[in-house]
Each structure stands twice: as C-alpha cells, then as structure tokens.
Structure 1
C-alpha cells in the first residue's frame, strides 16, 4: 500500500479497525471545531454584539454563518483539488490535514477573543477556511483507501464520529468556562483528535509522473462537473443538498426556538439535551445502516426512506410545539439521519468520475453540505420574522428534505 501507483488505483484491500477508528476520530474532532461554535458560541456572541451592529440577533447570526458558509463553499473543493495534486513524502492528504487542523485551532482561539462584529466575521471565516482544508483531505482518504463494498460501514463510523463531534462540541461550548473557554476547549480537542491518524498511518503518495500538468485555466474549469456528462453525480449532489438544506433550516435557530418559541428556561442546555437524544438514536442506526447497505449491495432505498423519515420528524416540530415534541422529533430525526449519513456517503463515493480528482470531486459534493448554510439563513430569517414563525420554518424544511429524498430515484448507475 506504499507504492506511489496505489494512490490512483481502485482500492481492493479492506482497511482495518485501527485505521477506521483513527480516521473517524479525526473526522469527529474537526466537527467539534465546527459545531461548538455553530450550536452555542456564535449564537451567544451574536446576541452580545447585536445591539452595536444595529441588527436583530437572528439576522447577525445568519450573516456570520452565511459568510462562513460561502468561505466553505470555496475552501472545500479548492483544498481537495490541491491535495489531489500534492507530491510530498508525507503523501497527498496528510500535509493538508495537519495545516488545516493547526490553522483551525488558532482560528478558534481568535474567535475566543473576538470583541466585536468584525472579529466575529473574520474569526469564523478563518475557521471555515482552515478546517475545510483538513476535512477535504480526511474525506478523500476514504475512496483512496476503502474498497466499494466496505464504504457503507466506514461511512457509518465516520457518521457516528461526526455526531459525537457535534455532541462533544456542544458539551464543551455549554459547560467549559463561558464563551472563551468553550472556544479554547474545542481548539484543543480538535488538535488532539486528529493527531493519532496523522502520526500512526502513512498516507498514499502520488508519483510525480501521475501529477496533472499545472495550468490555472484547466484547474479552475475542473470544478465544473457537467450533469449532462455525469448525471448520476448531479442527481446525487442535488439529493444531498436538499436534505441538508432541510436540516440546516431546523438547526440554525434551534437555540432561539427553545428560548423564544418554547420559552425553555436554559436554551443552551436544551440544545445539548436535544443533541444528545438525536445522537443516541443516530448512533443506533448509522453503522447498522452502512453494514446493511454493504451486505445487500444497495444504496438508493436507504437514502429514500431515511430522507422521508427526517422530513416526518421536521414536520412534527411544526405541529407539536412543546418540549416533548422537540424531544420526539430529535429522536426520529436521529434515526433517519443515521442511515442517511452512512449510506449516502457510500453512494457519493460510488459516483465519483475520476480517481485523480477524488479530493476535488468530493469537495464539490461537500458544497452540498455547506451551501445549505448559505441558503438557510436567507430562507429562515424571513420565514421566522415575516411569514409564519417557527411552524412555517419547519414545514418548509420538511418539504425541502422530502423532495431531496424522492430525487435519489433518478440515479441510474447505483442500485
């Protein structure tokens, strides 16, 4: 597995538990760096800085997360493409994992000391830039190293780690020393969590002869993947985008929904409880769904029905606006999202066009994760403030997610 040519070969050897565990821990650690701020810390800072900005806290938070998501839109495919072309004795992916993680930790510390709106925008933009460099490289390691019929289970473990990263990030942000302490704790956890993979598992190397010739015009043109030439890739991307948009509409204002809609006494702690409930049910299905999908060799039915279940859970929030309703919805959403997380990831790796562009193509797919963070604020703020409040927000989210689930049936090259 250390020969340069293996970097572009379709993997055949199954990866071991140690490699999967280390990669999953690295993935989860990156999500700690993202979701401690997204779930709690940015909302608290937006509330603190809103009076000076002249904007409602909801609008300020929407602008900050939206600008960060725009950075993510560019950073993920860009760093994925750069890692595809990296010729280094440390491999293609490892240099970017290290640089992105260290940069992300420093950016989180910058946010910890933010004293105004400008620092808030700058800090979150840098967090998105740097952690997306690491995430693009971590994600690309899967099609580099994992055979197709093992990708469901590996995707399941990555999804479990992602969820644990959200829970841990939310817990650190809620319980450790206020806003500054929460950022510092997330930064340290991110560094420590990535270290075992980087230190223990050598990366595959790209032979200089296999590196594509560098020119700006074809490099930039490569980010457009024609849906006409690669229709399965296009439908898979649209499915992921719509389902993630539905989830983003729910998560963006969860803190404010608990406080202003349900009048929950401690909305930060309430977010932590709902995240834990969601995490428990997600963990119950994420690995099992991936294993089941690998064994029967099918992906689309799992994506379809898990997306429909998530839409049902989101619809519950619109019609059952109580704390009990929120807990039930979080549990059902976790069941659906667990299956979706593992199986949809495997489906995405099955529709990648070229081996040499795995990092870039997965980065384009990951736009379907970050673009909803741009679109969600633009949709959510008017829905909550001017249309129908939180019921309108949740019904819209359910309809969008259901549309994404149904469209997976358009993919022809994957069962």
Structure 2
C-alpha cells in the first residue's frame, strides 16, 4: 500500500475540522469501485443466492427461513459496523486508518461467503451469513468514511451520488454473474467472494492516507469504546433526525425488496422469476443512475439536502403503491423505474447530509457506523413486519401499501434536522 505524491497533493485527510481540497475523479472512481464490491457482496446473496439456497433446503418454510437468516445477519451488522468504525478511528497503522479495514474486511467477508456456500441447513446458512456480515461491515466502515475524511462539503453530494449508484449496480453485476456467467449457488458465492477482494484492491493500493499520529488516537478503553457507540439524540438532535429518516426510508426499501423474488413467483406469476429480478434490477439501477449524480450536483450547488430527501420519499411511495395495486409484469417494470429514480435522489443527498451532522470529526468512522445501523437495522425489522402483513393483512398488496407509508413517514421526519438546509 503506497502513498504517492499525487495522492498527497490532491486529497486531504483531517482528524479535526473539514477538508477543503476537492478530490480528483480517479479518487472518486476507485472509491466507488470499492463501494461496489461491498454492496455486491451484501445484496446479491440477499436478493438471489440466499433465497435460492433456502428454497432448496426448506421449500415449505422458505419465507420464514429467509427472514431468520437475513435478520440474524443484520443483527451482526448492527454491532460490527460501529465497532469496526470505532477501531478504525483508533488505527495508527502506517497505511492509514481506513485502508486496513477495507482490505481486511473484504478478505473476512469473502471467507464468510465461502462458508455460507457450503452449508446445507438453515442454521448453517445463518452462521455463515453472520460471518460474512461481520467482515463486510468492517469493510463498509472503511469505504464510507473517506467521504467525510477527504471530500469538501460543497462536493459531497456529487461524490455520494457516484458511490451511491454502486448500491444498486452491485446487485446488477451480482445478478448477471450469478444468473448468466456461472451456474449454481455455490459457484455464485465463490465468484462474488473473489470479486469482493479484487474490486477493493485498486483503491487500497493506489490511494494512500496519512497515518493517525499516536498522540491523536482516542484511548483504547473497552468500556469507553462500547459506551461511545451510543450517540444521544438529545445532545445531537440533528444526528438523531438523520438517523431516524435513514432508518425509515431503508425500512421501506427493505420491506419492498426482501420478497421480490417470491412476489414475482407467487403474485405476478412470472414464468422466469430469476430473470425477472435481474430485469427489474437493471431498470431500477439505470433510473437511479440517471438521477443520483445530477441531483447530487444540484444539491451541492444549492447547498440544500432536505427538500431532495422529501422528494425521494414521495417518488418511492408512488412506486410502492403501483406494486400494491397492479400485480402485472408491465406494472412491476414501471414501478422499478419509479423506485429507482426516487432512490437515486436519496443516495445522492443522504450520505452528504449525514456527514454534515456527525458529532465529532475524530470519531467519524464510529459515528457513521452508528448511522449505518439505520441501513442494517431495517433488515432485522423488515422480515418481522413483512411476513405477518403478507400472511394476515392483504398479502403483497398490504405489504407494498405499508412500504409506501413507512417511506413517506421517513421523508416527513427529515424536518427534525435543523442544522442542514
């Protein structure tokens, strides 16, 4: 891992205060590639590999099994992400604070995916997926913090737009790989594991970061470290408001996407639901890409974030209502386009917004890890909410109407954030 003179000139890393030097396109591109790796490793199993694997293990109980496995993994993520972030803030390696966690997390996550691939019971799959989640969340803590470390506020929504696209693009690439390039669930896991490491390497090897001086390292006291994982919403209301908004919008997204394969199979009755998921993901990602970066540029120029969050909530709710009311393949494609456009808006401005409400610069990775609980937490709650709705409150119609309501509530609560326009 090297730190070139070019890197030092065109990027900046601060442990206090805000960066002021704009990052170059190459830096954004390689960070986006590393972010693509982690989201490909997260989303491909959740959307494709785990449902197929669990359907083969327990066809009659596939809904419940998927809920248990994804819920257990999300619980691990809720602990691993902020803990890895807190340790990253304290890392004094000569390779910097973030890069060791990006590479180490990628390797551990890949190992977890390989373990998951070899399981033949629901419990074994759950344990393997928990191992993968622990490693991948350590990697996520490393790839999300450089935006706060190095990108000036006036450039953050644009950079967040580029990195945000990879959340959906990761699933597209993963779906192409697992449905077209390889055959079988085990080979799908193995290929995703390999790509996770390979795609993380360019950013790790190309862009260095100055090491944290030992005198600036927060004390490594286990009790203080654990206590620091709690960020009081009373003392930091903007942080709390941003967290709650992200949680609700991601809860709506998780409720709407967790059972997508089963929705196409059982409600739309599509002949080839696996390919259907891929097509919907392509549409979703294309529309997200068309909105994310342009909206990011507009947000940076206007210096405004909250209005765009409200807009994304309305657009995503409309897409969910369409899925609720019309159970046809053309309607599903139209809904994917609307949902993608709305989520693209969200991806651009949300990450920029949360980096502006972090309580302390020296704890950025830990605080972003706490924020990221609002990504993983909904994966725990969504199955607990979605499964009873499907069973007792209107099936998929009830599920997607609930998705719309939760998303709209998230958009409304962005008003609790006072320190960002």
TM-score where L is the length of structure 1: 0.97
Question: Are the equivalent residues in 1 in contact too, given 2:109–2:193 (CA < 8 A)?
Answer: yes
Equivalent residue for 1:121? 126
**CA–CA distance in 1 between the matches of 2:118 and 2:12?**
44
**CA–CA distance in 1 between the matches of 2:263 and 2:291?**
27
The reply on whether 1:84 has 2:92 as its aligned counterpart is: no
Q: CA deviation at 1:216?
A: 2.0
SS of the residue 1:357 aligns to = helix
Which runs of 5 or more structure 1 residues have no equivalent in the other structure? none
**CA–CA distance in 2 between the matches of 1:37 and 1:232?**
34
The reply on whether 1:159 has 2:180 as its aligned counterpart is: no
Q: CA deviation at 1:4?
A: 10
Q: 1:384 to 1:202 in 2, by over 3 A?
A: same
The reply on whether 1:339 has 2:345 as its aligned counterpart is: yes
**CA–CA distance in 2 between the matches of 1:106 and 1:172?**
19
Q: 1:65 to 1:5 in 2, by over 3 A?
A: closer
Q: CA deviation at 1:394?
A: 0.4
The reply on whether 1:50 has 2:58 as its aligned counterpart is: yes
Q: CA deviation at 1:211?
A: 0.7
Question: Are the equivalent residues in 1 in contact too, given 2:153–2:356 (CA < 8 A)?
Answer: yes
**CA–CA distance in 2 between the matches of 1:119 and 1:348?**
36
Partner of residue 31 from structure 2, selected from 23, 37, 40: 23
The reply on whether 1:143 has 2:148 as its aligned counterpart is: yes
Question: Are the equivalent residues in 1 in contact too, given 2:74–2:380 (CA < 8 A)?
Answer: yes
Partner of residue 401 from structure 2, selected from 388, 392, 395: 395
Partner of residue 383 from structure 1, selected from 384, 389, 395: 389
Question: Are the equivalent residues in 1 in contact too, given 2:88–2:98 (CA < 8 A)?
Answer: yes
Equivalent residue for 1:297? 303
Question: Are the equivalent residues in 2 in contact too, given 1:72–1:132 (CA < 8 A)?
Answer: yes
SS of the residue 1:227 aligns to = coil
SS of the residue 1:8 aligns to = coil
Q: 1:5 to 1:173 in 2, by over 3 A?
A: closer
**CA–CA distance in 1 between the matches of 2:219 and 2:164?**
35
**CA–CA distance in 1 between the matches of 2:113 and 2:130?**
10
**CA–CA distance in 1 between the matches of 2:54 and 2:270?**
19
Which runs of 5 or more structure 2 residues have no equivalent in the other structure? 1-7
**CA–CA distance in 1 between the matches of 2:108 and 2:223?**
28
Q: CA deviation at 1:39?
A: 0.9
Question: Are the equivalent residues in 1 in contact too, given 2:90–2:218 (CA < 8 A)?
Answer: yes
The reply on whether 1:39 has 2:47 as its aligned counterpart is: yes
Moved over 2 A (4+): 1-9
The reply on whether 1:276 has 2:282 as its aligned counterpart is: yes
Q: 1:292 to 1:4 in 2, by over 3 A?
A: closer
Partner of residue 108 from structure 1, selected from 113, 122, 130: 113
The reply on whether 1:96 has 2:101 as its aligned counterpart is: yes
Equivalent residue for 2:326? 320
Question: Are the equivalent residues in 1 in contact too, given 2:250–2:378 (CA < 8 A)?
Answer: yes
- Aligned pair count? 412
Q: CA deviation at 1:247?
A: 0.6
The reply on whether 1:261 has 2:267 as its aligned counterpart is: yes
After superposition, the CA RMSD in angstroms is 1.4
The reply on whether 1:414 has 2:414 as its aligned counterpart is: no
Over residues 10-33 of structure 1, what are the superposed CA-to-partner deviations in whole Å (9 max), with x where a residue is unaligned? 211000011100000000011111
Over residues 229-251 of structure 1, what are the superposed CA-to-partner deviations in whole Å (9 max), with x where a residue is unaligned? 11011011100100100010011
TM-score where L is the length of structure 2: 0.96
Q: CA deviation at 1:204?
A: 3.0
Question: Are the equivalent residues in 1 in contact too, given 2:13–2:19 (CA < 8 A)?
Answer: no
Equivalent residue for 2:5? none
Q: 1:5 to 1:235 in 2, by over 3 A?
A: closer
Q: CA deviation at 1:136?
A: 0.6
Equivalent residue for 2:202? 196
**CA–CA distance in 2 between the matches of 1:310 and 1:5?**
35
